[in-house]
């Protein structure tokens, strides 16, 4: 956990590079009692509609090297430039590339 607060006194020394204070607690958490697997399955079951083939390829193959950006983060023209280097690294064939481009075109930022 981290704690942040708004700077109210700009004259105090910069503490940005001061290591955080570690606070130890004797509080014990039984992680098995949280039933995380059961909860994850429940969330996955409610995840909504099935992904299109192009969407599956985009998130399953094309975004492995970097954090997955949302398709609407870029225009289709920008995606065309990005995919020039993304597709070879993902190892997609021409058919799969076209599926991803169709997905991106439908979901890209308009403009």
d(CA 76, CA 81): 9
Please list the pLDDT of the chain residue by residue as tens digits (111 residues): 566 777 788 788 877 788 888 888 888 877 777 777 777 666 666 556 788 999 988 888 887 666 667 889 899 999 999 899 889 888 999 999 999 999 999 999 987
pTM for the model: 0.55
CA atoms within 13 A on the CB side of 67: 3
Measured CA to CA, the distance from residue 70 to residue 68 in angstroms comes to 6
Of 73, 74, 41, 71, nearest to 57 by C-alpha is 71
What's the rounded Cα separation, in Å, for the pair 18 and 93?
49
């Amino acid at each position: 956990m981290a704690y942040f607060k708004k700077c109210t006194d700009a004259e105090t020394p910069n503490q940005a590079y001061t290591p955080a204070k570690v606070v130890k607690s004797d509080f014990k958490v039984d992680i098995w009692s949280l039933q995380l697997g059961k909860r994850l399955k429940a969330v996955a079951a409610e995840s909504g509609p099935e992904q299109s083939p192009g969407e599956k390829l985009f998130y399953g193959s094309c975004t492995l090297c970097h954090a997955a950006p949302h398709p609407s983060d870029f225009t289709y023209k920008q995606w065309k430039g990005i995919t020039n280097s993304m597709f070879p690294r993902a190892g997609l064939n021409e058919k799969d590339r076209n599926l991803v481009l169709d997905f991106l075109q439908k979901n890209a930022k308009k403009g």
